[in-house]
């Protein structure tokens, strides 16, 4: 399904980058290291729907204690762990303020899983990004990721991506 969506996005994007389907790849670094991609439905030059956002993150040295309500176990998470999220959301763009430069904001929500050293947890995931396009397609911004389950875990990142 993801492959079909990506093929559709590439062929649709060749016609008009402000309308139709497009896709993007992104990396982020901060309190975690993440890579991801998204399929984006552009309605016009100011508004888009993030149809599917898939991210993998390597969270190094988190400092939280996690209580698993299902098993009653208390986990002290002091090792490296992994997060996988699938989300959907909205994305808004400003008018261009210089050549191809325009600001944007995105809010995505969905499902996430965190796992590491013999434990795992499923949870609600929320992601907020603000930034600017530097040149056509290339953008940079600040990202805030929140995992909400039995306790909240937040990550702050600098994100760099390219929208095809």
Q: Is the dihedral of CA 30, 33, 35, 38 positive or negative?
A: negative
The predicted-structure confidence for 110-120, as pLDDT tens digits, reads as follows: 998 888 766 67
The predicted model scores a pTM of 0.75
What whole-number distance in Å separates Cα of residue 103 and Cα of residue 38? 18
The alpha carbon of 27 is separated from its chain's Cα centroid by a whole number of angstroms, namely: 9
pLDDT of residue 65: 60
Q: Give me the pLDDT at residue 76, please.
A: 62
- Nearest of 30, 62, 64, 59 to residue 151 by alpha carbon: 64
- Write out the H or E segment, with its range, that includes residue 71: none
pLDDT in tens, 22-46: 999 999 999 889 999 999 999 998 9
pLDDT of residue 120: 73
Q: Beta strands 103-116 and 81-93: pairing type?
A: antiparallel
* Ranges of the chain with pLDDT below 50: 1-6, 12-15
* Domain around 63: 2-163
pLDDT the model gives residue 108: 96
Tokens encoding 138: 């290339």
Q: Structurally, how many domains does the chain consist of?
A: 1
DSSP 3-state of 2: helix
Confidence (pLDDT) at 1? 45
CA of 164: how far to CAs of 6, 24, 65, 86, in Å? 10, 6, 40, 20
Residue 24 gets the label, from left (phi > 0), alpha (psi -120 to 50) or beta, of beta
* pLDDT, position 118: 65
> Which residue is it, tokens 């699938």?
86
In angstroms, the CA 3 to CA 158 distance is 28
CATH of the domain at 136: 2.40.160.20
Q: What is the pLDDT of residue 72?
A: 72
* DSSP conformational letter for 95: P
């Amino acid at each position: 399904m993801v492959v079909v969506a990506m093929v559709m996005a590439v062929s649709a994007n060749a016609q008009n980058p402000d309308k139709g389907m497009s896709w993007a790849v992104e990396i982020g670094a901060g309190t975690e290291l993440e890579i991801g991609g998204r399929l984006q439905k552009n309605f016009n030059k100011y508004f888009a729907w993030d149809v599917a956002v898939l991210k993998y993150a390597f969270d190094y040295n988190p400092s939280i204690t996690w209580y698993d309500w299902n098993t009653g176990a208390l986990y002290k998470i002091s090792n490296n762990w992994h997060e996988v999220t699938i989300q959907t959301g909205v994305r808004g763009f400003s008018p261009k303020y210089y050549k191809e430069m325009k600001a944007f904001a995105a809010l995505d929500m969905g499902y996430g899983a965190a796992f590491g050293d013999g434990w795992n947890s499923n949870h609600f995931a929320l992601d907020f990004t603000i930034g600017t396009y530097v040149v056509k397609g290339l953008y940079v911004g600040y990202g805030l990721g929140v995992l909400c389950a039995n306790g909240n875990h937040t990550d702050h990142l600098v994100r760099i991506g390219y929208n095809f």
